[in-house]
Amino acid sequence: MDEVLLLQDEEERNGEGGGGGGRGGRVLLKKGPWTAAEDAILVAYVEKHGEGNWNSLQKHSGLSRCGKSCRLRWANHLRPNLKKGAFTMDEERLIIQLHAKLGNKWARMAAQLPGRTDNEIKNYWNTRIKRRQRAGLPVYPPEVQSMHLLSPYVHSQGDATSVSSNTDSDGDALPSPKGQIPSLNHAMGGFSLPVVLCDIPLNAVPDNALIVPSPSVTEPLQAFSSPSESNCYLTEYKAMPFSQLSDAMTKCFELHHPKPHCKPALDSMLARGFPLEPDPGIDFQFPGVQPNYHGFASGSYSCFGLDSSLKQELPSGQSVEAAGSAGADASALISPFTPLSSSKILPSEAHTFEHVSNSGLLESLLQEAEAKQWNSHFTSQPKDLSSVQTLDDHTSANKTLRIEDSNAGTRFVSYAATAAIQPISSTQVYNWKNTSSSRPTLKPVIKLEESSGGLSWAYSDLESSTSPNYISLYEMGVSEWDDGPAPYAAETFAQPVAAEPENSSSSGLHSGNYRAGPTVAGHVLELGSCQWNNMPGACLIGDFAADWRPSIAATQHSVDTGAIF
DNA sequence: AATACGCACAACCGCATGTCG
DNA sequence: ACGACATGCGGTTGTGCGTAT
């Protein structure tokens, strides 16, 4: 290779800052690969004088290299404790996770990979990872992808959906996503479902819940990062496209689920949780086929208990045997909770929770719990969930059960259903609860239409609409929870600011803003926070006509979709 | 055998930031 | 406060090698 000779004045023009420049006349600076002799000179100099003063090094070592080049050579190749060779699996995993978290902050990533340089990591990413894109694979593995789908700094580019605070908890600037979270969060409204998931035996999961615990998440939500004695570890999960569900699901459980007692339920969960069989006439491979149309299935469920450090005692007589009998799912939901500690907390002392929480969402959730005043239904006799859901709270997508058990301590169980409204390529989706091969009956519950006066909504009997601007929400799989699920699904959908939907037969036209309900999307899009929405039970899958897309893109910050129990 | 291509790696370049006088 | 200098970071380009055609 030819040597490239730079004159000193050229170097200055090249932004070297003139380090050592302008003082020694014309200096020939070599470029290109380093020779062993040059390396030896550099190593000897650094060993004698230490790192730094790179321009001085250039002047005094006899190397015809600019200081910058010396620093780079030292940092990337010559300094001690450099780890050579291919990245290990662990390192690769870490890189992916770090990149999902930090973006292209190679130096920060390198700081967490001892012996590795930012350049190495950068090269790794630019080659191996981008190869995935060429192959049509997601940049991130599904669990990581979903994990960060709704990270507060993830934007939908070019629209009003930015939820970024632009700073992380340390106040550091967060990277622009620059499409790093690609299609999953595109402008159409990649709001989906963040989930806080605790250690819940899978057999506690309702059939119709779509739960993908992702314990690979390395950073538990702050509010519950250390429930020392409980099994309440928290993980976060975001919804993911149908096309990735099965894989991710399997991986998450098989690879990561740390609680052996959850294992036995895996098969049944998989079996009953994912009969997402594509209609022969419908292409569900949307990400590749129709990049603008994605379906998200979402559902989650959370429970969280109090750590014994809270030291709250439950007075005698206020215990509950949280066992269900009236409804199979209800009992399944509640009874399998493994005991926490002996900690107790009174409803009136729910604020105690706040000291472990910095989440406004959680706060409201707890307020809700308090508002319920821990009704006597639940303290005295087995209940099915529907009896606990009697509170007419149309303002929240979350319902919180307070479960107090003299043995198991106090738990809050929050559950909700949230619609993951995405444009999908089909007008119909499947009820994954239905394990038969036949298509379940879909119940459209809402029809949204845009008119000059704003958005109008109506309960719809149509299975699908031919209107160019519509959203139909299909209720999916809540029958075991409630005999008549449609009302609540409808009631919480796109609530107008000034008026609640009146009843299940009403319809109305509402101009102006629609209040984003406290569902996931609302929080994500408005507050940039999404940590405390949890939903099991049902998911609503929206059908979007293609023409709806621009409108939604413009209004999704205020039009929320969700369903509550 | 010649060529094209992809890949991995190394190095460079421009810019931003920090430090110091 | 300002400028000069030093350093660090991230994007980009260059190079060599292996493989496929």
What percentage of chain A exceeds 70 in pLDDT?
A: 18
**pLDDT single digits (tens) A427-436:** 222 222 222 3
Contact A45, A53 (CB under 8 A): no
Whether residue A148 is contained in a domain is answered as: yes
Query: Is pTM, for the whole model, over 0.85?
Result: no
Per-residue pLDDT for A115 more than 80?
yes
Q: Which tens digit of pLDDT belongs to each residue from A499-548?
A: 222 222 222 222 222 222 222 221 111 111 111 122 222 222 222 222 22
Q: Which domain holds residue A463?
A: 138-565
Nearest in space to A557 (alpha carbons), one of A494, A470, A474, A472 = A494
Q: With bands split at pLDDT 50, 70 and 90, how would you rate the model's confidence at A27?
A: low
Same domain, A282 and A173: yes
- A67, pLDDT greater than 80: yes
Whole-number pLDDT of residue A28: 65
> A77 versus A316: which is more confidently predicted?
A77
- Give percent above pLDDT 90 in chain A: 0
For the stretch A407-421, pLDDT in tens is: 433 333 332 222 222
**Cβ of A52 near strand B (distance < 7 A):** no
Could you say which residues 70-89 of protein chain A have a Cβ atom less than 7 A away from any atom in strand B? 72-73, 76-77, 86
Helix pair angle (A264-273, A242-251), 10° resolution: 170
The confidence band for A135, taking pLDDT boundaries of 50, 70 and 90, is: low
Q: Indicate if A444 and A555 belong to the same structural domain.
A: yes
Looking at the structure, tell me whether residues A50 and A142 fall in a common domain. no
What is the CA A133 to C1' C17 distance in angstroms? 24
Residue A424 has pLDDT above 60, yes or no: no
**How confident is the model at residue A106, as a pLDDT?**
84
Whether residue A74 is predicted with pLDDT greater than 80 in this model: the reply is: yes
Last residue of a domain, one of A32, A62, A78: A78
A154 with A264, same domain: the answer is yes
Q: Gap from A127 CA to B7 C1', in Å?
A: 8
Are A149 and A59 contained in the same domain?
A: no
Point out the least confidently predicted range of A31-45, A231-245, A458-472, A533-547: A533-547
A39/A60 Cα distance (integer angstroms): 15
Claim to verify: residue A463 and residue A377 sit in the same structural domain = yes
Interatomic distance A165 CA / B20 C1' (Å):
34
- φ, ψ of residue A251 to 5 degrees: the values are -60, -45
Q: Is residue A89 part of a domain?
A: no
pLDDT of A121 > 80? The answer is yes
Q: Is A430 among the domain residues?
A: yes
Interior CA angle at A468 toward A467 and A474, to 5°?
Answer: 65
What's the CA A291/C1' B3 distance, rounded, in angstroms?
A: 36
Residue A153 located in a structural domain: yes
Q: Last residue of some domain: A78, A105, A128?
A: A78
Nucleotides in chain C near protein beta carbons (<7 Å): 4-12, 15-16
* b/e sequence A81-91, b meaning 16+ C-beta within 10 Å: eeeeeebeeeb
Could you tell me the distance in Å between the CA of residue A124 and the C1' of nucleotide C17?
A: 17
* Cα A53 from Cα A137, distance rounded (Å): 45
State the average pLDDT over residues A241-258.
26
Same domain as A68, residue A146: no
A121 part of a folded domain: no
Closest nucleotide C1' to the C-alpha of A77? B10
Which nt is closest to the CA of A68, judged by C1'? C7
Highest mean pLDDT among A13-17, A36-40, A498-502, A525-529: A36-40
Q: Specify whether A50 is located in the same domain as A184.
A: no
Given a cut of 80, whether residue A397 has pLDDT beyond it is: no
Give the pLDDT band (50/70/90) at residue A139. low
Nucleic strand C near CB of residue A55 (< 7 Å)? yes
A388, A243: one domain: yes
Average pLDDT, chain A: 37
Q: Determine the distance between A101 (CA) and B13 (C1') in angstroms.
A: 27
Is A103 inside a domain boundary? no
Provide residues 109-128 of A with CB closer than 7 Å to any strand C atom: 118-119, 122-123, 126
Å separating the CA of residue A101 from the C1' of nucleotide C11: 20
Residue A161 in domain: yes
What is the count of structural domains for chain A? Answer: 2
- Which residues 6+ apart lie within 8 Å of A340 measured at CB? A227, A229, A230, A231, A232, A305, A306, A307, A308, A408, A409, A410, A411
Q: Which two tokens stand for residue A62?
A: 């006899």
Residue A63 sits in the same domain as residue A149: no
CATH of the domain at A52: 1.10.10.60
Protein A251 CA to nucleic acid B11 C1', in Å? Answer: 39
Residue A102 scores a pLDDT above 50: yes
Indicate whether A361 belongs to any domain. Answer: yes
**CA atom of A59 to C1′ atom of C8, Å:** 20
Instruction: Tell me the nt nearest to A15, Cα to C1'.
Output: B14
pLDDT of residue A30: 81
Which of A55, A78, A101 is the endpoint of a domain?
A: A78
**Bases on strand B under 7 Å from any protein CB:** 6-16
Shared domain for A166 and A51, answered yes or no, is: no
A397 and A534 in a common domain: yes
Which nucleotide lies closest to A56 by the C1' atom and the CA atom? C6
What is the C-alpha to C-alpha distance for residues A515 and A554, in angstroms, rounded to an integer?
14
Answer for A54: CB within 7 Å of strand B: no
Q: What is the pLDDT at residue A120?
A: 85
